[in-house]
Amino acid sequence: MSGKRARFSLIVQYAAAGDDLPARDLLRRWVRAALEPAATHARITLRFVDEDEARTLNRRYRSRDRATNVLSFVYDDEPGMCGGDIVMCAPVLRREAAAQGIPLAAHCAHLVVHGMLHLQGADHEDPAEAARMEAHETALLARLGFPDPYGPATAAAGRGRRAAR
């Protein structure tokens, strides 16, 4: 990128009830933080949904009949382009944050970063990939001022494992 910022478009959709979800300016900051330097263009839609919509999408695209915390859908794979949808299930996020004893914003930041890494080709299908992805997430979140989502506090709450995708 040689010092230039990527051309960037973020659409945020709040299709789930509640006024506790992060504001657009925070979401934009988190998405930008996770954008790889090689990206010259980014076109992202971030949608907060209810459990019915999350379950329907998870069943249709992953053959898993349950609501999940985050789903990522890549729709641009040309060089320099990061494009896709990140769908986050607000009720699942709230439950997970409460179970981990962390602020909802911290959990949302983690899963926004997680989703962005998926949109850029990262995965966690094998242990080596998972370790690389978790290390990258942890570093990005630290730069944003959030603790390690895989660290001792979340592990003690039984959540020191990688995010669902």
Print pLDDT tens along the chain (165 aa). 445 666 889 999 999 999 999 999 999 999 999 998 888 889 999 999 999 999 999 999 999 999 999 999 998 777 788 899 999 999 999 999 999 999 999 999 999 999 999 999 888 989 999 999 999 999 999 999 999 999 875 554 544 444 544
Kindly state whether residue 2 falls inside one of the protein's structural domains: no
Kindly state whether residue 63 falls inside one of the protein's structural domains: yes
Kindly state whether residue 163 falls inside one of the protein's structural domains: no
Q: What is the CATH number of the domain that holds 53?
A: 3.40.390.30
Kindly state whether residue 164 falls inside one of the protein's structural domains: no
Domain count for the chain, please give it. Answer: 1
Torsion region of 29: left, alpha or beta (phi above 0 gives left; psi -120 to 50 gives alpha): alpha
Beta strands 70-76 and 81-89 are: antiparallel
Kindly state whether residue 161 falls inside one of the protein's structural domains: no
Range of the domain at 47: 7-156
Kindly state whether residue 66 falls inside one of the protein's structural domains: yes
Q: Tell me the three state secondary structure of residue 135.
A: helix
Cα–Cα distance for residue pair 144/139, rounded to 1 Å: 9
CB of 1 closer than 8 Å to CB of 37: yes
From the list 46, 43, 60, 55, the residue with the least C-alpha distance to 6 is 43
Kindly state whether residue 111 falls inside one of the protein's structural domains: yes
Cα-based angle 99, 102, 108 (whole degrees, multiple of 5):
100
Cα–Cα distance for residue pair 164/138, rounded to 1 Å: 16
Instruction: Give the model's pLDDT for residue 152.
Output: 74
Residue 141: other Cβ atoms inside 10 A: 23
Q: What tokens appear for 4 in the block? A: 């230039």
Kindly state whether residue 35 falls inside one of the protein's structural domains: yes
